Amino acid sequence: MSDKIQVDLLIVGAGPAGLMAAAWMAQTGVKTLLIDEQSDHRTNGRADGLESRTLEILDSFGLADKVWAEANHTVEICLWCDSVDGPIRRDSIAPNSKAGWSRFYESTLGQGRIEDIVLELVQSRDNIDIRRETKPTSLDIDYSCIEDHSTYPIRMALDTPLRTSYESPHDSGISTPSTSSDDGMQPHNSDLRHGRSGTEVEAKYVLGCDGAHSWLRKQLGLKLEGQSFDHYWGVLDIVPITNFPDIRKRFIVKSKFGNLMMIPREGQLVRVYVQLPLTMADQYNMEKDPGIILRQVEAIMKPYSLKAKNTIWSTVYRVGQRICPKISHHNRIFLAGDACHTHSPKAGQGMNVSMQDTYNLGWKLASVIQGSLTPNILDTYQQERLPVAERLLQFDRRICHAMCSTRDLQSSLQGTFGEDHRRALEEENSSASGLAVSYSPNLLVTSTICNTDGPYEISYFSKQYLAENIRVGTRIPSKLVLQQIDSQSCHLHELFRSTGQWNLIIFGGDIVNKSQMARVRNLADSLSCKESYFHRFKTAREMKGDIEPIVVYLLHSACRNSIDFFDLPEIFRPESKYGGINFGRALVDNEFYHQPGGGELYKSFGIHPEGCMVLLRPDQHISFISELEDFNGLEMFLSSFTQLDC
Ligand code: FAD
C-alpha cells in the first residue's frame, strides 16, 4: 500500500541544478517535493569553479557573501610550455578574466560546500519538502488533461513512504489527497510499520535534475547524443608540496610529456587536471591509486618538484560531449543540467550551466503555477537554454582540442599555445561564463524589429538605439548608483533580487530640464492610472497576496542636489511595507563621495539623452527597451504573457 501526495513541482535530484530550482521555489512559496537517491550529498570532488554569472545569481538570492568569503579568487592565469633547450618555462601571465564584465570574477570552492550553502536557504522554508534516499520507480502521464495547467497529470511512484521514521513531521505545505488515509490526514509513522511501502506523487510539473544518467530522461525515451574521444584525464584535489612559483595562480603547462592544468582552491588545496595515456588511465581504474596520476604530474612539472601532502579526491575521466535535443516534454516535464548536457570539466562550466538552466526555468514555473504568467511562456525554457547547451559543447570542443594536443597547429614546436587556445581562455571567463548569454526574441524577449510581415502586426518592439550598450535578451550589467534621498550607494544588481519580481527602470535622463521631467511625469501618470492594464495587473496580483509583481524605479542623470525627492511623481516614492515611504525607488547616476565608480552608468549603458524605459525579467535579462512615451507598447507586451484573473 502506498501513500499519496499532490505537489505543484517535483524535482528529481538535489545536485546544483535541482537545488537552484528549489531555491526559486523557496523564494516564491511554491509547494515542492525535492527527492534524491543519496543519503547526503558528496563533500569532496567534482566541480569547484564558479563563474562570475553564477556568483551574480547566488548574490541575487543573498548567498554570494558566504561563497565569496570562503572561496579562492582566481585572479591570474599563467601559461607554461617547453623551452627550446628543454625544461618548461613561463610563456605568459595575465588576468584570468577581463575587468569590467562583472563585480565578481572566477572563484573556486568545492561543489559540496556550494550545495550546502544553497541547501541552507531551501531548508529554511516550509514549502519545500526534501526527501533523501528516495528515487522514482515509475512514471505515468495523463495526456488527456495535459493542456489544462490547473491539473496534476503526472503520476510518479517513489520507493519510500511519505513519512520515514527519521523525519520529524512538520507542515511541509504538501497536500495529501483524501484517499491517502481514512481521515484525510497525514499518515502516522504507525502506517509505515503496517506495510506502507512507497509514495504515489501527483504533480503538475516535474523537473529532471538527476544527472548524466538521468532516469527521467530515459523514461521519456530521450537520449544524450554525441561522442566520446580517446582522451583521458586524471583529476586530483591535493595539498601540494612544491617549489613551483605559480602554484597559487591558475596555470596550464603544455609539454612534450603531456599537458596539465592546476587551479588553486580554498584553503591550501589545488585541483589538478592531467592528460593520461590510456595505459595509465586503465591502471588507475583498476587500482584507484592517485599515485598513478601524480607520477604523470611530476614528470610534466620537471625541473620543479611537486608532491602531494594530502590527496582529498581523485578520479579519471574520458573526454566526451553529449546533448539531449529536447529538454521539455509538453511543458510539464523538463530536463536540466547534466541530465541534458555533459562535456569535459576543463572549461569549468558544468555546474555553472546546470545552475543557470534552472535559474532560467525556476521563476517561469513559479509564475505559471501561481497564475501570473500564461503557461505558454514555458516554451521559452527550451528556446533559450538549448542553444546555450549547444554553444557550451562547441566551446568545450575548442578547449579540449587545444588542451589535448601538445602540438599547436600553427607551430612546429611542441608544447605551445595557439591563438585560438588563448582566445578560448579569455572567453571562458567572460562570454562563455554566462555573462554574455543572449536570448533571442520570444514571448518574453521583444524583437528589435517591427514585424509587419505576419498576419498580425506586432505593435511592440524594442528600440535598441535608446540604450546601445545593453542588449535586449542579455542580463543587465551592474554599476554603482546612488539613492536620491541620501546619496547612499549600491550596485544596480543589489536591487534586483531573485524574488520573482519584474523590474521596470525609467531612465529619466536630465530631469532638471522641464520638458524631460514632463515626459517622466506623463509616463508615471500612465503607470499609475487605475484603468491601465499595468495597474490592474499589479493590483490583481497584490490582492492575491503576491509580492509586488513589477517594481518601478526612476534612475535619472541630473545633478542630485538639484532635485527634491518629494517633487518626484508618487510612483517613485511608494509606501514601504514597514510603514512610511520606500526611499529606495528613486536613484541617480552621480559620483559617489566615498568610492570611485559612480556617475558612469548612463555612458556605460549608452543611454540616449532622451532617456528610455527598460523592463527586466526576474532573472535580470532585458526584455523590452522603449522610449518614455511608449506606454502602449509596454502594456501590449505585458498583456501578451501575463494574466489578470487566474
Ligand atoms: P548532478 O550533480 O549529477 O546531480 C544529480 C543528483 O541527482 C545527484 O544528487 C544524484 O544523487 C541525484 N539522482 C540521480 N539519479 C537519481 C534518481 N533516479 N532518483 C533520485 N535522485 C537521483 N562543473 C563546473 O561548473 N566547474 C568545474 O570546475 C567542474 N569540474 C568538474 C570536475 C570533475 C572531475 C567532474 C566529474 C565534474 C566537474 N564539473 C564542473 C561538472 C559538474 O560537477 C556537473 O556539471 C554538475 O554536478 C551537474 O549538476 P546537476 O545538478 O545537473 O547533476
Q: What is the pLDDT of residues 441-454, one digit of tens each?
A: 999 999 987 666 66
CA of 328 to the centre of ligand 1 (A): 20
Residue whose Cα lies nearest atom 2 of ligand 1: it is 15
**Per-position b or e across 185-215, b if 16+ CB within 10 A of its CB:** ebbeeebbeeebebbbbbbbbbbbbbbeebb
Give yes or no: 618 in active site: no
Name the E strands within 58-209.
72-73, 76-83, 86-95, 107-108, 128-132, 136-141, 154-158, 198-208
Residue whose Cα lies nearest atom 33 of ligand 1: it is 46
Give yes or no: 105 in active site: no
The rounded distance, in Å, linking the Cα atoms of 56 and 52 is 6
Q: What is the pLDDT of residues 368-402, one digit of tens each?
A: 999 999 999 999 999 999 999 999 888 888 887 77
pLDDT at 502 over 60: yes
Q: What is the pLDDT of residues 222-265, one digit of tens each?
A: 999 998 888 899 999 999 999 999 999 999 999 888 999 999 99
pLDDT for the residue numbered 182:
35
The rounded distance, in Å, linking the Cα atoms of 233 and 289 is 14
pLDDT for the residue numbered 431:
63
Of 512-521, 542-551, 585-594, which gets the smallest average pLDDT?
A: 542-551
CA of 557 to the centre of ligand 1 (A): 45
pLDDT for the residue numbered 83:
80
Q: Which of 205, 201, 203 is nearest to 328 (CA)?
A: 205
Alpha-carbon distances of 178 from 4, 186, 384, rounded to whole Å: 9, 9, 40
pLDDT for the residue numbered 99:
81
Of 66-75, 116-125, 428-437, 556-565, which gets the smallest average pLDDT?
A: 428-437
Q: What is the pLDDT of residues 530-542, one digit of tens each?
A: 999 999 999 988 8
Contacting residues for 430 by C-beta, under 8 A, at least 6 apart: 97, 98, 101, 436
Distance of CA 480 to the CA centre of its chain: 22
Domain 464-639 belongs in CATH node 1.10.1040.10: no
Distance of CA 150 to the CA centre of its chain: 28
Mean pLDDT of 608-617: 98
Residue with cell 547612499: 488
Give the residue, out of 20, 35, 46, with the most ligand 1 atoms within 8 A of its beta carbon, to mutate for a pocket test: 46
Q: Which CATH number fits domain 72-103+227-318: 3.50.50.60, 3.10.450.50, 3.30.9.10, 3.30.470.20?
A: 3.30.9.10
Distance of CA 57 to the CA centre of its chain: 6
Q: What is the pLDDT of residues 131-141, one digit of tens each?
A: 999 999 999 99
pLDDT band at residue 287 under the 50/70/90 scheme: very high
Residue whose Cα lies nearest atom 37 of ligand 1: it is 46
pLDDT for the residue numbered 196:
56
Q: What DSSP character marks residue 196?
A: -
pLDDT at 599 over 60: yes
Contact, 110 vs 283, CB < 8 A?
Answer: no
pLDDT at 504 over 70: yes
pLDDT band at residue 646 under the 50/70/90 scheme: low
Q: How many helices (H) and strands (E) does the chain have?
A: 16, 26
Q: Above pLDDT 90, what percent of the chain?
A: 73
CA of 15 to the centre of ligand 1 (A): 6
The rounded distance, in Å, linking the Cα atoms of 432 and 396 is 10
pLDDT for the residue numbered 85:
76
CB atoms within 10 A of CB 82: 20
CB atoms within 10 A of CB 324: 21
CA gyration radius, the chain: 27
pLDDT at 268 over 80: yes
Query: Is the model more confident about 150 or about 196?
Result: 150
pLDDT for the residue numbered 176:
52
Long-range contacts of residues 289-292, Cβ cutoff 8 Å, at least 24 apart: 290/236, 290/238, 290/314, 292/234
pLDDT for the residue numbered 381:
98
Give yes or no: 602 in active site: no
Residue with cell 572567453: 427
Contact, 633 vs 625, CB < 8 A?
Answer: no
Of 39-48, 151-160, 467-476, 527-536, which gets the smallest average pLDDT?
A: 39-48
Contact, 106 vs 429, CB < 8 A?
Answer: yes
Instruction: Please compute, for residue 380, the number of CA atoms within 13 A of its CA located in the half-sphere on the CB side.
Output: 26
CA of 350 to the centre of ligand 1 (A): 8
pLDDT band at residue 416 under the 50/70/90 scheme: low
Q: Above pLDDT 70, what percent of the chain?
A: 90
Mean pLDDT of 90-119: 92
pLDDT at 187 over 80: no
pLDDT at 457 over 70: no
CB atoms within 10 A of CB 562: 9
Q: What is the pLDDT of residues 304-336, one digit of tens each?
A: 999 999 899 999 998 889 999 999 999 999 999
Alpha-carbon distances of 144 from 52, 147, 216, 330, 587, rounded to whole Å: 44, 8, 21, 12, 51
DSSP for 275-340? EE-HHHHHHHHHH--HHHHHHHHHHHHTTS-EEEEEEEEEEEEEEEEEE-S--EETTTEEE-GGGT
Alpha-carbon distances of 37 from 13, 316, 475, rounded to whole Å: 7, 24, 35
Pocket of ligand 1 (CB under 6 A): 12-18, 35-38, 41, 46-49, 111, 135-136, 209-211, 215, 235, 315, 337-339, 345, 348-352, 354
Domain boundaries, the chain: 72-103+227-318, 464-639
Q: What DSSP character marks residue 407?
A: B
Query: Is the model more confident about 510 or about 417?
Result: 510
- The verdict on ipTM greater than 0.95 is yes
pLDDT at 607 over 90: yes
The rounded distance, in Å, linking the Cα atoms of 567 and 405 is 66
State the chain's mean pLDDT as an integer: 89
pLDDT band at residue 466 under the 50/70/90 scheme: very high
Query: Is the model more confident about 616 or about 170?
Result: 616
Mean pLDDT of 632-642: 96
**Distance, first Cα to last Cα, the chain:** 36
Contact, 355 vs 16, CB < 8 A?
Answer: yes
Give yes or no: 48 in active site: yes
Q: Which helix (H) or strand (E) holds 240?
A: strand 225-242
Query: Is the model more confident about 176 or about 145?
Result: 145
Specify the ligand 1 atom closest to the Cα of 216.
18
pLDDT for the residue numbered 181:
36
Q: What is the pLDDT of residues 23-38, one digit of tens each?
A: 999 999 999 999 999 9
Residue whose Cα lies nearest atom 30 of ligand 1: it is 47
CB atoms within 10 A of CB 531: 6
The rounded distance, in Å, linking the Cα atoms of 372 and 26 is 17
Contact, 385 vs 326, CB < 8 A?
Answer: no
CA of 209 to the centre of ligand 1 (A): 9
pLDDT band at residue 191 under the 50/70/90 scheme: very low
pLDDT band at residue 425 under the 50/70/90 scheme: confident
The rounded distance, in Å, linking the Cα atoms of 391 and 552 is 34
Q: Which residues pair with 108 in a beta bridge?
A: 49, 72
